[in-house]
Amino acid sequence: MRRGSYTYGEERAIEELAPLGAEYVALILDRDIECVRRKASRMGVSLAKSFEINVRNMSERQLKAITSLNPTMLCPSCGKRFVNTLSGVCDLCHLDALTTNHNAEYRRLSVEAERTYNTSKKRLSRLREELGVPAPRGKGGDA
């Protein structure tokens, strides 16, 4: 945790990030929350969390302030939201990655299923030929 006097960049970040509330500002600055509260109060900045603030939709300036002080807090994939999953990205990027993986697995399984189906169809057709049994007609036609 950082201690001592605040840098110019940290002071600007307190102003820029104040609407996120004291907890986030302290986390981003990597400083004690009470210490950050005192500093903000001396600067005349309110750290009361704004009702309109949406940490999923931060401004470019706020993202820049976070990146300059504590880049590992932001998702390395999109750089727009806080990391909040064990996989080290934001939840939306995490879901995106899962979707991509699921789709790839689905494609793999469907290709495999079709191959298995075609193999069994050929095997059955060969057996019918050997035994001289005609394929059943009428129902669906693809049996």
For residues 23 to 62, the per-residue mask of contacts with Zn ion, x marking binding by CB under 5 A and - elsewhere, is ----------------------------------------
Distances (CA, A) of 134 to 60, 81, 111, 121, 127: 71, 64, 29, 14, 10
Amino acid at 125: S
For the CB of residue 80, give the shortest distance to Zn ion in the complex, in Å.
Answer: 6
Site for Zn ion in 93-122 (CB under 5 A): 93
Number of residues that bind Zn ion (CB under 5 A): 6
Q: In whole angstroms, how close is the CB of 74 to Zn ion at the nearest point?
A: 8
Segment contacting Zn ion (CB under 5 A): 10-18, 53-61, 75-83, 123-131? 75-83
Distance between CA 10 and CA 44 in Å, rounded? 15
What is the C-alpha end-to-end distance of the chain, expressed in Å?
A: 70
> Contact between 90 and Zn ion (CB under 5 A)?
yes
The answer to whether 83 contacts Zn ion (rule: CB under 5 A) is no
Q: Among residues 48, 78, 109, 111, which is the contact residue for Zn ion, using CB under 5 A?
A: 78
Q: What secondary structure does DSSP assign to 95-106, as a single string?
A: HHHHHHHHHHHH
Scanning the chain, the segments in alpha helix (DSSP H) are: 8-17, 22-29, 33-43, 60-69, 91-131
Interface region with Zn ion, contact rule CB under 5 A, candidates 1-9, 31-39, 77-85, 113-121: 77-85
In whole angstroms, what is the distance from residue 31 CA to residue 51 CA? Answer: 24
What gap in Å lies between CA 141 and CA 25, rounded to an integer? 68
Closer residue to Zn ion, CB minimum distance, 26 or 75: 75
Residues of the shown chain interacting with Zn ion in the complex, contacts defined by CB under 5 A: 75, 77-78, 89-90, 93
